[in-house]
C-alpha cells in the first residue's frame, strides 16, 4: 500500500502554524487578533505587504508570533516579489501528514513545520483586465502563481489543513476556532476545500478566457518582437 494513503485521522486539528499572504487585506484586522487570542501558541508566516499589515495590527504582540516566510525558508524574496512562497519547506509543511511516520521524518530532516492553515487570496486578475486600455503585459503580470499553488496544496490536504480564500469566511472561521478552542474539524476543512477549488477554477477560467480572446497580432505588437 502507498505510504501516502491515509485511512485514519483526527477530526479536530489545532491551528499552530498558519501562512497568510493576501492581495485583499479586508478583515485581517478582525481575523488576526482573534486567531492569536484563540490559538496562543500560533506562529504566523507571512510575506511582503501582508506581513507589514499584520505587524501593524498586532503591534507589540507581533514579536512573539509573526515571522517572515523568507526568514523561515532561508530564501529571500526575488525582485518585485516574483517568487516568495514557492519553497520546498512550505510545500512539505502543507502536504505532509502528521499521521505518517515517514512524513514526520521528512519534516524533521528539512527542519520544517506542519502548516495547519493557509489564508490566501489572489492577484486581482479580473479587476486588471476590466480596466480600459489593459495590455497583454498588464494581464500577464497579474497572473498569480504562488497563491493558487498554496491554495491547491492546502485544499488537497483538507484532512489536515484548512484553505481559506474568501474574507467573507472569516467570521465563520473565528466562530469555529472559538467553539473548538483553536481547532477546526474535518467538516470545516472540507467545506473550505470546496470553496478553495471553486476559487482557483474560476480564476484559471478567467485567465484562459482572456488569453483565448487575444489575437496574436495584438500580443506580438505588445512585445515589439520585430516580426
What cell does 70 get?
A: 523568507
Q: What is the pLDDT along the chain (227 residues), one digit of tens a residue?
A: 456 777 788 889 999 999 999 989 999 999 999 999 999 899 999 988 999 999 999 999 999 999 999 999 887 666 656 666 778 899 899 988 877 777 777 777 867 899 999 999 987 788 888 898 888 898 998 888 889 999 999 999 999 999 999 999 999 999 999 999 999 999 999 999 999 999 999 999 999 999 999 899 888 888 877 54
pTM of the model: 0.88
For the chain, what is the radius of gyration of the CA atoms?
A: 19
For residue 66, list its beta bridge partners.
44
**Residue that is written with C-alpha cell 507589514 in the block:** 52
In whole angstroms, what is the distance from residue 178 CA to residue 37 CA?
A: 9
CATH numeric code, 13-125+146-214: 3.40.50.1380
In whole angstroms, what is the distance from residue 105 CA to residue 135 CA?
A: 48
CB atoms within 10 A of CB 17: 21
Spell out a b/e string for 81-112, using b for 16 or more CB atoms within 10 Å of the CB, else e. Answer: eeebbebebbbbbbbbbeeeeebeeebeeeeb
Amino acid at each position: 500500500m502507498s505510504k501516502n494513503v491515509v485511512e485514519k485521522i483526527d477530526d479536530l486539528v489545532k491551528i499552530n502554524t498558519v501562512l497568510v499572504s493576501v492581495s485583499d487585506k479586508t478583515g485581517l484586522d478582525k481575523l488576526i487578533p482573534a486567531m492569536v487570542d484563540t490559538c496562543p501558541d500560533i506562529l504566523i508566516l507571512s510575506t511582503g505587504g501582508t506581513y507589514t499589515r499584520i505587524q501593524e495590527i498586532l503591534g507589540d504582540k507581533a514579536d512573539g508570533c509573526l515571522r517572515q516566510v523568507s526568514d523561515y525558508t532561508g530564501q529571500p524574496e526575488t525582485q518585485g516579489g516574483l517568487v516568495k512562497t514557492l519553497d520546498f519547506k512550505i510545500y512539505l509543511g502543507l502536504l505532509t501528514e502528521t499521521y505518517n511516520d515517514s512524513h514526520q521524518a521528512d519534516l524533521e530532516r528539512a527542519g520544517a513545520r506542519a502548516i495547519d492553515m493557509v489564508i490566501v487570496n489572489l492577484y486581482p486578475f479580473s479587476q486588471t483586465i476590466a480596466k480600459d486600455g489593459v495590455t497583454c503585459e498588464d494581464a500577464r503580470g497579474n497572473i498569480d502563481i504562488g497563491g493558487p499553488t498554496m491554495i491547491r496544496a492546502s485544499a488537497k490536504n483538507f484532512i489536515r489543513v484548512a484553505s481559506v480564500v474568501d474574507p467573507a469566511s472569516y467570521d465563520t472561521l473565528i466562530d469555529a476556532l472559538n467553539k473548538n478552542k483553536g481547532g477546526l474539524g474535518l467538516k470545516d476543512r472540507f467545506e473550505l476545500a470546496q470553496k478553495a477549488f471553486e476559487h482557483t477554477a474560476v480564476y484559471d477560467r478567467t485567465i484562459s478566457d482572456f488569453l483565448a480572446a487575444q489575437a496574436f497580432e495584438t500580443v506580438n505588437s505588445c512585445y515589439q518582437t520585430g516580426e
